[in-house]
């Protein structure tokens, strides 16, 4: 969803955005002051304050290395234009999505498998990064830092007041929606005018109803989306009945405001929406649960992906210094600071205090029962979000699935070629 | 004719224009009201959006100024816009003059006219990456490069405007000057350039407006350079999953003022131009 | 006698400007043209794919729809804006009270940033209009959402075109009107037979500029619909930017941009020729 949301939500940019406040311009390698310089560019503009603090702390405690961490808004554009100029930062902080896959494929990321810090990263997240490679590639190309989780946010106070229980199967979820509606309250809010929001329920359902490696399987020519996405499509369509009237008229911001004002009991979105909701209603008690997509009570998995990882660029001249910066960022207290401020899910095995609104997902997180957002494998130019919105407006499952398969082969032609060449040489 | 000084106003048109203002004032009202509100006052209801803020406080404006590093960003914006505008007027009017006076009988100038004006239709997205690379190779991935890009981007439109305007300036004026022995340059600077004042003001307004609000060019040309213009700084209000509309609107209102003042000044020049000048 | 030196002076004026233009417009365009024969993603390596991108363009329904949508929008908006701004220019240039204030206020839509315009008009179409007319939001209606975009485009750009018309009106000498009023030309006739022919060059300019601006519409789309609902408002520039720059289709969208460029230049040259010939007739 990452890549997609940047292009769709970052409309102010019509474009994009340069840095927050005054950015320190840094450059890699050793500079005239005899110190080793490490430049980190992350795409987490909302975390700019934290990273400024971490940067200053690092510089105060390290004599030989100077780090500069910047968080430009719509960093995709900033990073891309810098790549074009071959003006590479040393480390980039990006999401685990298809641009990461593309960067690996383009050979601009360095193998960091010799970085010790990887030892205490949860294996589940390292696996997620592996599956993002178009074809199995030797090495590890990112250090997972923070994850996000998506499912259903709910108004805890409202749920307690009515004595509603958290559903664990699809049937229970539908029953709950009926109960809420019977109580005269709108069960769900969608905000599907902003197409990317359709991906939140879509992903949450798809991970439970379709194989987690469906995209790789399709690329390898083993199956089709028509075969595996039908149930997901039908279920997301079924949800429409429990949302606001005319969900395509209201956007993400409307949905956040409506949910914050108690106009709906639940909201199918990720934990990332919480700050926006709280800005409207700072007193609100929000919790979340895993969207139950199927009917086996132990078959639920949490929709969680790598939200922020650090990748060392191939062009980085001083990998050792870069590792030192990474080790610092991965220190427990520094991560906790980030978790507290951003409501994020840390990717390492240390003990953390998790934010309240993740209460309902805590067990899944601790047990590592999770699956990556499927849209992290969708090419942004295919605009799957727009296709889901189109399908929800028009309601034709068959047409949607047929188009999905046709477009997939069209937009992934070069990747499919690459995958099939790979398997041909393997065989 | 001193009686003429006593102007008779056309009241029906004045009133019609005042009524039409609602199309501008209503959105402006919403902008102002939102700029004064707190995020917690935002609702999805019509009464909610139209109601006045609970407290009138300039805090949003103060916060917005801090977040955008207002004075520094303003300075950069003024610098880029100002320099672009001056160079634009000097260079593009010259080009417009050279082309406009010759394209009638000289196919090479006509070709130049079509060559430049066709540049207007090149989608910026296709130029962007090559330009980024080119400016970096020339080491002008900075303010200077941005201004240079603007000079080229606005050239087609401005050449179109200047050549169009020249059509209404009689050749006789220049010929008279030339008979007096003035060179082409002198004729241009002393007679034609001042005559084009209304068009200079128009070009200035259009160019200034385009550069003032532009995000893309400074972003991609200077990306990572650390120099923020106002529109770049304003992007801070919009993060991936949340937008602080209240601060953003306050900031936009602040950014609107300089250009509005400039426009009011420029539009006087548009009117006081040719009519009072030499065209008789 | 001075004819050759005069000509040389004109060339000296023009050549450096042409060089500058070539370096920062044509040269990058040529590089873009080269990318259109590759599968370049915007970074990393790429392969030559010959004419594949161009062949793909022909069969791409989404691209086809974006052309239809863009033309429809550009045509409607160009007509609306030109009529409206001509009326506005005449009104604001007549003997009205509060002239400066009115001109200033009517200029504001042109300066408001896209975030503000997007938010306000989203609110307007999503909540206010449905409330007043008891309908559903036009922005959620795949068949009519384009009309909302035309309205916002017009709202924003009328100011700019009005300025150009006003500056055009300044070139009409007072004595022409005086002569005209002696002949009894007033109102519509005065406009039709005196004013309009004299500002015809500005009409040409505005038509071309409008057509160009609306053919390249991008900001308003991002602010209002982001291509939705049901991908019904994806403009050509929207696809080129989102899929080429921000997505991974740089090579393909470069091909799209090249085709678009050739098409829009052709249209504009025809438009200019037609209007210039009208100018001469008048």
Q: Is residue C16 part of a domain?
A: no
Q: Is residue C12 part of a domain?
A: no
Number of structural domains (chain C) is 1
- Compute the average pLDDT of residues C164-177: 81
Residue with tokens 């189109």: A390
Q: Looking at residue B87, what is its pLDDT?
A: 96
* Percent share of chain B, pLDDT over 90: 43
A5 CB neighbours in chain B (<8 A) are 240-241
Quickly state the pLDDT bin for C6 (edges 50, 70, 90): confident
Q: Is residue C261 part of a domain?
A: yes
C-alpha A399/C-alpha A226 separation (Å) is 10
* Percent share of chain A, pLDDT over 70: 92
* A381-385, B195-199, C235-239: segment of lowest average pLDDT: B195-199
Prior bond to A108 cis, omega within 30? no
Q: What is the mean pLDDT of chain A?
A: 88
Alpha-carbon Rg for chain A in angstroms: 22
Considering all CA atoms of chain A, what is the largest pairwise distance in Å, rounded to the nearest integer? 71
Quickly state the pLDDT bin for B224 (edges 50, 70, 90): low
Domain boundaries, chain B: 20-57, 72-276
User: Is C74 within 8 Å of chain B by CB?
Assistant: no
Q: How many CB atoms lie within 10 A of CB C166?
A: 23
Q: How many CB atoms lie within 10 A of CB C117?
A: 21
B121 CB neighbours in chain C (<8 A) are 212, 215-216, 261, 264-265, 268
**Residue C172 belongs to what domain range?**
44-281
Give A251-297 pLDDT, tens digit per residue.
Answer: 999 999 999 999 999 999 988 899 899 999 999 999 999 999 988 86
pLDDT surpasses 80 at B274: no
C279 CB neighbours in chain B (<8 A) are 167
Q: Is residue A265 part of a domain?
A: no
pLDDT surpasses 90 at A114: yes
Quickly state the pLDDT bin for A32 (edges 50, 70, 90): low
CB contact under 8 A, B224 and A78: yes
User: Is A246 within 8 Å of chain C by CB?
Assistant: yes
pLDDT surpasses 60 at C97: yes
Q: Is residue A68 part of a domain?
A: yes
C touches which chains (3+ CB pairs under 8 A)?
A, B
Domain CATH for A351: 3.40.190.10
C-alpha A369/C-alpha A47 separation (Å) is 27
Q: Which of B126-130, C71-75, C184-188 has the highest mean pLDDT?
A: C71-75
- Compute the average pLDDT of residues C92-101: 87
Domain CATH for C50: 1.10.3720.10
| A82 secondary structure, DSSP code | H
Q: Is residue A270 part of a domain?
A: no
A touches which chains (3+ CB pairs under 8 A)?
B, C
C264 CB neighbours in chain B (<8 A) are 121
Question: Which long-range contacts link A292-296 to residues 24+ away (Cβ below 8 Å)?
Answer: A292/A167, A292/A168, A292/A169, A292/A170, A292/A172, A292/A173, A292/A208, A293/A170, A293/A204, A293/A205, A293/A206, A293/A207, A293/A208, A293/A209, A293/A232, A293/A235, A294/A169, A294/A170, A294/A208, A294/A209, A295/A169, A295/A170, A295/A171, A296/A169
Domain B72-276 listed as CATH 1.10.3720.10: yes
Q: Is residue A427 part of a domain?
A: no
Backbone angles phi, psi at A40, to 5 degrees: -115, 130
Q: Looking at residue B265, what is its pLDDT?
A: 87
Quickly state the pLDDT bin for B3 (edges 50, 70, 90): very low
Q: Is residue A409 part of a domain?
A: no
**For testing contact with chain A, the best of B38, B40, B43, B44 (most A CBs within 10 A):** B44
Q: Looking at residue A21, what is its pLDDT?
A: 29
**For testing contact with chain B, the best of A5, A45, A81 (most B CBs within 10 A):** A81
CB contact under 8 A, B155 and C17: yes
C-alpha B30/C-alpha C120 separation (Å) is 7
Q: Looking at residue B169, what is its pLDDT?
A: 82
Q: Is residue C25 part of a domain?
A: no
Compute CA distances B49 → A125, B41, B246, C137, whole Å.
43, 9, 12, 17
- Compute the average pLDDT of residues C128-154: 91
Number of structural domains (chain A) is 1
**For testing contact with chain C, the best of A3, A9, A11 (most C CBs within 10 A):** A11
Instruction: Confirm whether pTM is higher than 0.90.
Output: no
Of A76, A195, A250, which has the smallest distance from its Cβ to C246's Cβ?
A: A76
Of A3, A98, A393, which has the smallest distance from its Cβ to C229's Cβ?
A: A393
User: Is A383 within 8 Å of chain C by CB?
Assistant: yes
Mind telling me how many Å the CA of C140 is from chain A's nearest CA? 5
Q: Is residue A393 part of a domain?
A: no
Q: Looking at residue B165, what is its pLDDT?
A: 86
Q: Is residue A17 part of a domain?
A: yes
Q: Is residue C15 part of a domain?
A: no
């Amino acid at each position: 969803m990452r890549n997609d949301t940047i292009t769709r939500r970052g409309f102010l940019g019509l474009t994009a955005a340069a840095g927050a406040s005054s950015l320190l311009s840094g450059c890699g390698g050793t500079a005239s002051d005899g110190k080793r310089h490490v430049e980190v560019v992350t795409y987490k503009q909302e975390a700019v304050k934290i990273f400024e603090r971490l940067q200053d702390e690092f510089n105060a405690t390290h004599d030989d290395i100077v780090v500069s961490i910047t968080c430009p808004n719509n960093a995709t554009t900033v990073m891309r234009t810098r790549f074009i100029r071959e003006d590479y930062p040393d480390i980039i902080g990006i999401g685990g999505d298809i641009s990461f896959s593309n960067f690996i494929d383009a050979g601009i990321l360095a193998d960091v498998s010799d970085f010790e810090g990887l030892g205490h990263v949860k294996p589940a997240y390292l696996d997620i990064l592996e599956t993002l490679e178009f074809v199995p590639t030797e090495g590890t190309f990112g250090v997972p830092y923070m994850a996000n989780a998506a499912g259903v946010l709910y108004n805890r106070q409202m749920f307690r007041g009515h004595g509603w229980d958290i559903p664990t199967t699809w049937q229970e979820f539908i029953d709950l929606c009926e109960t809420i509606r019977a109580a005269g309250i709108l069960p769900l809010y969608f905000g599907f005018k902003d197409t990317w929001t359709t991906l939140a329920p879509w992903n949450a359902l798809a991970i439970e109803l379709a194989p987690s490696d469906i995209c790789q399987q399709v690329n390898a020519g083993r199956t089709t989306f028509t075969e595996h996405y039908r149930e997901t499509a039908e279920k997301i369509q079924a949800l429409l009945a429990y949302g606001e009237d005319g969900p395509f008229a209201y956007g993400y911001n409307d949905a956040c405001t409506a949910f914050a004002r108690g106009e709906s009991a639940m909201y199918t979105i990720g934990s990332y929406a919480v700050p926006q909701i709280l800005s409207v209603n700072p007193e609100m008690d929000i919790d979340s649960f895993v969207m139950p997509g199927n009917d086996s009570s132990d078959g639920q998995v949490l929709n969680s992906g790598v939200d922020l990882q650090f990748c060392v660029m191939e062009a980085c001249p001083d990998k050792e210094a870069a590792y030192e910066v990474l080790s610092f960022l991965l220190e427990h207290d520094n991560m906790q600071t980030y978790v507290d401020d951003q409501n994020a899910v840390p990717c390492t095995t240390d003990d953390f205090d998790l934010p309240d609104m993740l209460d309902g997902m805590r067990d899944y997180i601790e047990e590592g029962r999770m699956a990556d957002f499927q849209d992290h494998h969708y090419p942004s130019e295919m605009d799957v979000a727009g296709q889901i919105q189109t399908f929800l407006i028009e309601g034709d499952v068959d047409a949607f699935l047929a188009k999905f398969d046709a477009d997939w082969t069209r937009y992934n032609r070069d990747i499919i070629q690459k995958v099939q060449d790979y398997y041909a040489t393997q065989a | 004719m001193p009686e003429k000084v006593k102007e008779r106003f056309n009241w029906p048109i004045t009133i019609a224009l005042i009524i039409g203002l609602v199309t501008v004032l209503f959105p402006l009202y919403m902008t102002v009201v939102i700029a004064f509100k707190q995020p917690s006052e935002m609702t999805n209801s019509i009464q909610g959006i139209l109601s006045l803020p609970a407290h009138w406080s300039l805090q949003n404006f103060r916060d917005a100024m801090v977040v955008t590093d207002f004075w520094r960003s303003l300075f950069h914006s003024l610098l880029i816009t100002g320099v672009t505008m001056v160079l634009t007027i000097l260079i593009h009017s010259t080009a417009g003059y050279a082309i406009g006076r010759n394209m009638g009988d000289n196919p090479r100038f006509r070709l130049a006219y079509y060559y430049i004006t066709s540049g207007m239709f090149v989608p910026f997205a296709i130029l962007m990456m090559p330009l980024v690379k080119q400016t970096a190779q020339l080491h002008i991935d900075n303010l200077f490069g941005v201004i240079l890009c603007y000079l080229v981007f606005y050239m087609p439109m401005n050449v179109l405007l200047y050549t169009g305007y020249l059509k209404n300036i009689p050749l006789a004026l220049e010929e008279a000057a030339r008979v007096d022995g003035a060179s082409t340059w002198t004729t241009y600077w002393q007679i034609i350039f001042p005559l084009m004042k209304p068009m200079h003001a128009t070009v200035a307004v259009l160019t200034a407006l385009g550069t003032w609000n532009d995000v893309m060019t400074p972003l991609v040309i200077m990306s990572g350079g650390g120099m923020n213009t106002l529109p770049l700084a304003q992007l801070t209000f919009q993060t991936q999953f949340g937008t602080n509309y209240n601060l953003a609107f306050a900031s936009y209102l602040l950014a609107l003022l300089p250009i509005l003042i400039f426009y009011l000044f420029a539009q006087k020049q548009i009117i006081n131009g040719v009519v009072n000048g030499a065209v008789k | 006698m001075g004819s050759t030196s005069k000509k040389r002076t004109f060339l000296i004026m023009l050549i450096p400007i042409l060089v500058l233009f070539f370096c920062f417009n044509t040269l990058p365009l040529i590089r873009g043209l080269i990318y259109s024969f590759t599968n370049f993603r915007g970074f990393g390596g790429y392969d030559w794919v010959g004419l594949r991108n161009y062949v793909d363009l022909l069969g791409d329904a989404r691209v086809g729809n974006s052309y239809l949508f863009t033309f429809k929008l550009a045509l409607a908006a160009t007509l609306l804006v030109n009529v409206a701004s001509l009326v506005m220019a005449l009104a604001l240039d007549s003997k009205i009270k509060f002239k400066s204030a009115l001109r200033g206020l009517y200029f504001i839509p042109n300066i408001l940033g896209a975030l503000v315009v997007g938010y306000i008009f989203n609110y307007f179409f999503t909540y206010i209009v449905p409330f007043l007319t008891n309908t559903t939001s036009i922005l959620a209606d795949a068949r009519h959402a384009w009309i909302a975009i035309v309205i916002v485009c017009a709202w924003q750009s009328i100011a700019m075109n009005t300025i150009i018309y006003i500056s055009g009106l300044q070139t009409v000498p007072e004595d022409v009107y005086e002569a005209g009023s002696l002949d009894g030309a007033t109102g519509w006739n005065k406009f039709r037979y005196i004013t309009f022919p004299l500002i015809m060059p500005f009409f040409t300019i505005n038509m071309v500029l409008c057509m160009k601006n609306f053919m390249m519409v991008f900001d308003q789309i991002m602010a209002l619909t982001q291509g939705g609902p049901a991908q019904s408002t994806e403009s050509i520039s929207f696809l080129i930017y989102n899929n080429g720059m921000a997505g991974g289709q740089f090579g393909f969208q470069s091909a799209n941009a090249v085709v678009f460029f050739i098409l829009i230049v052709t249209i504009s040259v025809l438009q200019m020729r037609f209007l210039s010939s009208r100018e001469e007739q008048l």
